């Protein structure tokens, strides 16, 4: 008798960035700065009430996010990180293997995992030669079995973005009967004028749902808070399939406190943008292929040299994130840590 689903044997495992004592960790796209003191105080105060269940409906935080987005609360759902909301999207759109989820590849590594866990079928579509979503090919892949499309902008791990004009053409081509999820986990780092902003389109397209997170620019990766906004019927369905009490007391308090000091937190973003440009320019100068990035990381298209590059940097106490034989993603950190990366990258070229 088989007790466990046989397909789980082939389930790709989510690989977190490694942490090695004494090494600089540039593998997980974390912000090197801790949360502000006021956020830490709110988290500590909330932890004192840890004997009580959190607000199941995440009412206060949902209402605050709705005000930030200028939307009614029934159009906002909060989850245990945006990756949990990705899983919930599969759950509300797909019934089984006959249903398909379309996404670019390489993109966020959780997409194939949540698709398979949800019992659906993946339809990965290769990126273009310049490491961007091939939206024409993705639209062409949409058929009667397509239930969900994931669009990641900025794309993790390549850092490239979809423009507003491109996404509008894509939504028109796909039509209104397929849910399109725009994953904007790195939204706060986008500076390109033509990049899509999901808030600008979600009112016009009821099948569009936008995902964002407190894990990056808001420095709360360890608390696990993400949110989605879209049409009321999509948001209501997301809430139905979410795990009860998934957003903890401390997570809700931390996110609320972070919104209170939003300007202070986002004041660090221009420094990251400046550093990502400096790091990319330096890597280009060393001969690496590095696409333009609108996130807090850079992508090095290394192909078969990926594993060797990662091992070389490990020897130099710099941890990067390799992706099979495709390339390496490197978090943009402080100038000092970025200089360690560049020194190791230069010595790798010299070898």
Query: And the tokens for 37?
Result: 């003191």
135 cis-preceded (ω within 30 degrees of 0)? no
State the Cα–Cα distance between residues 77 and 149, nearest whole angstrom: 19
Inform me whether the pLDDT recorded for 246 exceeds 90. Answer: yes
Place 41 in a pLDDT band, splitting at 50, 70 and 90.
very high
295 within 8 A of 189, measured Cβ to Cβ: yes
Number of CB atoms found within 10 A of residue 238's CB? 22
% of residues, the chain, pLDDT over 70: 97
* Strand duo 100-105 + 121-126: pairing: parallel
Inform me whether the pLDDT recorded for 223 exceeds 70. Answer: yes
Place 17 in a pLDDT band, splitting at 50, 70 and 90.
low
What average pLDDT is seen over the chain?
96
- What are the distances in angstroms from CA 25 to CA 219, 306, 338? 15, 17, 11
65 within 8 A of 78, measured Cβ to Cβ: yes
State the pLDDT at residue 22.
80
Inform me whether the pLDDT recorded for 15 exceeds 90. Answer: no
State the pLDDT at residue 19.
65
State the pLDDT at residue 18.
64
State the Cα–Cα distance between residues 216 and 228, nearest whole angstrom: 15
Range 156-161 average pLDDT: 98
pTM (2 decimals)?
0.95
Number of CB atoms found within 10 A of residue 167's CB? 25
State the Cα–Cα distance between residues 187 and 147, nearest whole angstrom: 25
Q: Exposed, middle or buried: residue 117 (CB in 10 Å: 0-12, 13-18, 19+)?
A: middle
Range 155-172 average pLDDT: 98
Inform me whether the pLDDT recorded for 1 exceeds 60. Answer: no
State the pLDDT at residue 333.
97
> Tens of pLDDT along 101-123?
999 999 999 999 999 999 999 99
Beta bridge partners of 10: none
Task: Enumerate domains of the chain plus CATH numbers.
Answer: 17-33+268-350 (3.90.1150.10), 37-263 (3.40.640.10)
Inform me whether the pLDDT recorded for 12 exceeds 80. Answer: no
State the Cα–Cα distance between residues 17 and 146, nearest whole angstrom: 32
State the Cα–Cα distance between residues 14 and 131, nearest whole angstrom: 22
Q: What is the dihedral of CA 133, 135, 137, 138, to 10 degrees?
A: 90
State the pLDDT at residue 14.
65
Q: Collapsing DSSP states into helix, strand and coil, what is residue 43?
A: helix
Task: Indicate the helix (H) or strand (E) that contains 258.
Answer: helix 249-260
State the Cα–Cα distance between residues 175 and 141, nearest whole angstrom: 13
């Amino acid at each position: 008798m088989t007790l466990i689903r046989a397909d789980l044997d082939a389930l790709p495992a989510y690989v977190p960035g490694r942490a090695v004592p004494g090494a600089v960790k540039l593998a997980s796209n974390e912000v090197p700065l801790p949360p502000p003191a006021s956020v830490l105080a709110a988290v500590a105060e909330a932890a004192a009430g840890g004997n009580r269940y959190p607000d199941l409906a995440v009412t206060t935080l949902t209402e605050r996010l709705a005000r930030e987005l200028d939307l009614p609360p029934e159009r906002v759902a909060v989850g245990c990180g945006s990756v949990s909301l990705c899983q919930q999207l599969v759950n509300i759109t797909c019934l089984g293997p006959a249903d398909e989820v379309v996404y670019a590849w390489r993109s966020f590594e959780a997409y194939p995992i949540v698709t398979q866990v949800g019992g659906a079928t993946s339809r990965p579509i290769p990126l273009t030669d310049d490491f961007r979503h091939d939206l024409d090919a993705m639209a062409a892949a949409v058929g009667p079995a397509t239930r969900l499309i994931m669009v990641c902008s900025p794309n993790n791990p390549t850092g490239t973005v979809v423009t507003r004009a491109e996404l509008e053409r894509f939504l028109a081509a796909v039509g209104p009967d397929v849910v399109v999820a725009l994953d904007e986990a790195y939204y706060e780092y986008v500076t390109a004028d033509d990049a899509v902003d999901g808030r600008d389109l979600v009112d016009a397209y009821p099948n569009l749902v936008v995902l964002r997170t407190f894990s990056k620019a808001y420095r709360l990766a360890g608390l696990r808070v993400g949110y989605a906004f879209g049409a009321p019927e999509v948001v209501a369905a997301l809430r139905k399939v979410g795990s009860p009490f998934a957003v903890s007391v401390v997570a809700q308090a931390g996110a609320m406190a972070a919104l209170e000091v939003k300007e202070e937190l986002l004041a660090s973003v221009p420094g990251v943008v400046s550093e990502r440009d400096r790091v990319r320019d330096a890597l280009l100068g060393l001969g690496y292929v590095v696409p333009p990035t609108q996130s807090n990381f850079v992508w090095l298209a290394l192909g078969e040299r990926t594993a060797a590059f990662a091992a070389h940097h490990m020897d130099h106490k710099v941890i990067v994130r390799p992706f099979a034989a495709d390339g390496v993603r490197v978090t943009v950190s402080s100038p000092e840590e970025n200089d360690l990366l560049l020194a190791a990258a230069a010595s790798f070229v010299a070898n």
